């Protein structure tokens, strides 16, 4: 039972990160399409932002992982 709830928690954390990283990736591609010469700068900023969002999601995953034990 606790295992299933933990799995649900991990799933919820991933939904949030999915939306967040999707937004970041989408906007970055838009930005690059508008200004291809700024591609490398946009990529750098995109990776940093994606890592921060992913960090938040991984907190959720780790907490649900702890709940599994």
Partner 1 sequence: MYNSPIFKIKIFSILRVFAVFLALSAFSAPAFSQHDAPGHGQEAHETGAGEEKKFEPSEVILEHIADSHSWHLWGHTHIPLPVILYTDKGIETFSSSHLDHGHYAGKYYTYALEHNKIKVVNAEGQIDEAATKNVWDFSITRNVASMWLSIILLMVIFISVSSAYKKREGKAPKGLQSFLEPVILFVRDDIAKPNIGHKYARFMPLLLTMFFFIWINNLIGLVPFFPGGANLTGNIAVTLVMAAITLIVVNVNGNKYYWKHILLPDVPKWIYPIMWPVEIVGIFSKPFALMIRLFANITAGHIIVLSLISLIFVFKSFAIAPVSVAFVVFMDVLELLVAVLQAFIFTLLTALFIGNAIEEHHH
Residues near partner 1 (CB under 8 A) = 40, 44, 47-48, 51-52, 54-55, 58-59, 61-62, 68
Closest CB 62 distance from partner 1, rounded Å: 5
Q: If you count them, how many residues does the chain have?
A: 69
In the complex, what is the shortest distance from the CB of residue 55 to partner 1, in angstroms, rounded to a whole number?
5
Cβ proximity to partner 1, 19 vs 63, nearer residue: 63
Q: Within 13 Å and on the Cβ side, how many CA atoms surround 4?
A: 1
Cβ neighbours of residue 63 under 8 Å, at least 6 residues apart?
Answer: 9
In angstroms, give the least distance from the CB of 58 to partner 1: 4
């Amino acid at each position: 039972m606790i295992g299933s709830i933990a799995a649900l928690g991990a799933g919820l954390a991933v939904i949030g990160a999915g939306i967040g990283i999707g937004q970041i990736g989408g906007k970055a591609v838009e930005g690059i399409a508008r200004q291809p010469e700024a591609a490398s700068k946009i990529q750098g900023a995109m990776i940093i932002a994606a890592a921060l969002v992913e960090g938040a999601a991984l907190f959720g995953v780790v907490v649900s992982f702890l709940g599994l034990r």
